[in-house]
Structure 1
């Protein structure tokens, strides 16, 4: 295997100097609290509309057909959560850096399924309200609502789209879908979002006042505008500005290739080690499919490097990329960076190709010899990617690298290999006796990452010092 110099070579035995004590950066806290406040204020606004319309009083009075009132509330809360979903889909850089990808993915799932369930509850409760009041069948009630209420045909189509997105977002369905197919289906959320809006304005008694209609439209436009700005306009502008092309492709280990990229003014992106981009290589049919790959080396001027394991058609085609191939990109994304550290000592835990952002972090983080440990698990010795580069980091920067070969444990969830005999947290304490004083960065497959996170917490690492980046969507 031919070895090439990495884009940002390790220099000096001490690595980056330990930073002097800096004035505390309050911007992440302000962004965090601002986002939380905006979410709850928007939710309070929709609930206020429901109360102000008299629904609470009528429901408490137990008037005829009381199911309509909780049904209306379910629809209003669902609409607010849809707004939050679209904002989360926008990948706003400040929010991505502040909360981190893993937390945002979990919140996205919770909000998405909650919104869908409330939307279905809205439909069912209103339909049964007519059943109770008018003594008609459920099917006739649904048919009457769909044909008599303004905007309902579009709303039905939008609801179907949300159901499709919800079904394909279940864990079972996601295992059967490739990333780009799942990503394309998710775009239907935005179309469904737009189809449901007229129904809210035309039939919702809470929005009869023009001022409230204007507020609702502004909220929808802000959410949709943020998605179009950060997921379409900004990536196009950056791709045209920086003119990224493939420099060369290198096999790092059997079935693992690195793509070296160069462009103009890439330093202005302010990408950090540990972050990822969504890449589109203009090498032929299918180039529009974006795929997320993390940086596998610290950004260095106008050079970047990504590394991927060949597990599907999109990652397989990386090997065939030719120098000069044009590249479109979105990003940088993710908060798996130096910014989340709380202390001096760090432990890195990586499995398989999860070594890519970890390798970049080990190069870029500030630490003294003996303050950084890497636990790297792979199925066989041949599967350890960047072993030569990691050994160089160990020699030059004092990183303690522990290679853990062995296949995954069968029949149990564990970050260790099938040969392990100790409990997960016990093994961590044996390998790193002072792990409770470390920040722990974890990257690998979903189940493996959860096991590693649980082991770190049980080994005494505070929850805020455990940072997880899962290679899953």
Structure 2
């Protein structure tokens, strides 16, 4: 069986600047404020007194367009934004911006229709039909609205649970179609978009920035990285329990800006090559090859076990901020459950620390389910890591990250007993949502500062 040792060759590492996050957030809020300012400068407040319904409809339409572009930018995979927030936080903000945009769009349609109907002294449905069929670009806008509504409907949590990741991802591409179909209406009939040279410059710049970010970072960058590094499968190693590790080799991997704790969206040549799945690195990148590890959770991950050597691998990324860049101090406490051990195992290998400064908690139902046990014990012996294997069923009476045998002692009390100075540690967590939530609550109660707690989900 192949093993992976400590990195022996310097590799490129992604950098993060502290001000990137603040700059990105400030830009988003300033864009919304600027849109309101444009509405005010276009007699929005005066019209609000004379025709409040139509004026409010104009404002909601402008803000809807702004939030629509913001949600595209949030998931455009802009490297410095992604490294500052992490994919799970960006996905959460993307959903908020998306639902806000759809709500504002619905309000815009209702208010404009009501306002125009009142001005024309016509029925609401008749006015809506007149707007859609006679105003320039409105048929395209209606189709775009339908596409965006489909995206919103499939983004509701209950709907996401019923969809495979690949199906959800394909449906989400309609957001680009909806945005594109809305543009002609905004330019042809949206007076606020062309009311002044400033407004025109702002909206064209905003649309160009969103389109450019998608083309450069969602299309151009992955194409360039894959052409440069040309990853192929070197070997596939069964790890037991339906888990396999895929070793990948390629060109100039020391120049690939990837770090332990990150993940990529992977595709492999052959059947199913259009369906990407996110997998973390399970070993620190050493400049020679990469390793990903996955559990059989469906057709996509099941196919990994059958990949022949030489199969071309395509990737998007790397993504994620569960890396050493978020670390605040010297001491580390890592909590993993199930396949969540993969990024933490890579972090144990890559991050600098002295003997006795790092502790790992690994959760599994039984000893046979402990992934990478031999590798972790070798790392522990070599680098002085304390390991606590948490075996057995969890308590059904309370939300706990500990096996049932630790009840009824509070989780934070057990944590302080096992790691007395836990508040001085950076806490990294990866595992199922409910288990992760229990760890985070326990760490908070044990006194770990919020900025020392690091987690990331493969949110979608």
Instruction: Report the TM-score range of the alignment, normalised by the length of the smaller protein.
Output: over 0.9
Is residue 250 from structure 1 mapped to residue 254 from structure 2 by the alignment?
no
The one of 4, 24, 27 equivalent to 2:2 is 4
Q: How does 1:296-445 map to 2 (within 5 A)?
A: 296-410=282-396, 412-421=398-407, 422-445=409-432
| Worse-matched range after superposition: 47-56 or 36-45 | 36-45
Distance of 2:17 and 2:91 partners within structure 1: 18
Conserved? CA contact 1:372–1:400, under 8 Å: yes
Q: How many residues are matched?
A: 454
Distance in 2 (alpha carbons) for counterparts of 1:362 and 1:311: 25
Deviation at 1:428, TM superposition (A): 2.2
Q: Which runs of 5+ in 1 are unaligned?
A: 17-24
Residue from 19, 39, 62 that aligns with 1:30: 19
Aligned to 2:437: 450
Task: Note the C-alpha offset of 1:141.
Answer: 3.0
Counterpart residue number, 2:52: 66
Are the aligned partners of 2:245 and 2:293 in contact in 1 as well (CA < 8 Å)? yes
Is the aligned partner of 1:47 residue 2:45?
Answer: no
Separation in structure 2 between the aligned mates of residue 425 and residue 85 of structure 1, nearest angstrom: 38
Report the equivalent of 1:218: 205
Cα pair 1:112 1:166 within 8 Å, conserved: yes
TM-score (normalizing by structure 1): 0.91
Distance in 2, Cα, partners of 1:134 & 1:331: 53
Using the TM superposition, name which of 241-250 and 413-422 deviates more.
Answer: 413-422
Q: How does 1:35-114 map to 2 (within 5 A)?
A: 35-59=24-48, 61=49, 63=50, 65-114=51-100
Residue 447 of structure 2 is aligned to residue 460 of structure 1? yes
Residues 61-210 of structure 1 mapped to structure 2, 5 A cutoff: 61=49, 63=50, 65-134=51-120, 136-209=122-195
Aligned-partner Cα distance in 2 for 1:169–1:424: 34
Q: 1:190 to 1:10 in 2, by over 3 A?
A: closer
Of 108-117 and 415-424, more deviation after overlay is shown by 415-424
Question: TM-score, structure 2 length as denominator?
Answer: 0.94
The alignment's C-alpha RMSD in Å is: 2.1
Distance 2:206 2:139 in 1: 23
Partners of 1:142 and 1:254 in 2: CA distance: 58
Distance 1:40 1:27 in 2: 22
Displacement of 1:411 after TM fit?
6.4
SS in 1 for 2:456: strand
Which residue is equivalent to 2:221?
234
User: Please, which moves more after superposition, 137-146 or 428-437?
Assistant: 137-146
Moved more, 284-293 or 36-45: 36-45
Contact 1:244/1:327 (CA < 8 Å) preserved in 2? yes
CA contact (8 A) 1:378 1:406 kept: yes
2: distance between equivalents of 1:442 and 1:157? 43
Q: Who is 1:267 aligned against?
A: 254
Return 5+ residue gaps in structure 2 as ranges.
none
What is the CA–CA distance in structure 1 between the aligned matches of 2:151 and 2:170, rounded to whole Å?
10
Which range moves more in the overlay, 217-226 or 258-267? 217-226
- What is the SS of the residue equivalent to 2:66? helix
Q: What CA distance in whole angstroms lies between the structure 1 residues aligned with 2:161 and 2:412?
A: 29
Distance in 2 separating the partners of 1:26 and 1:278: 20
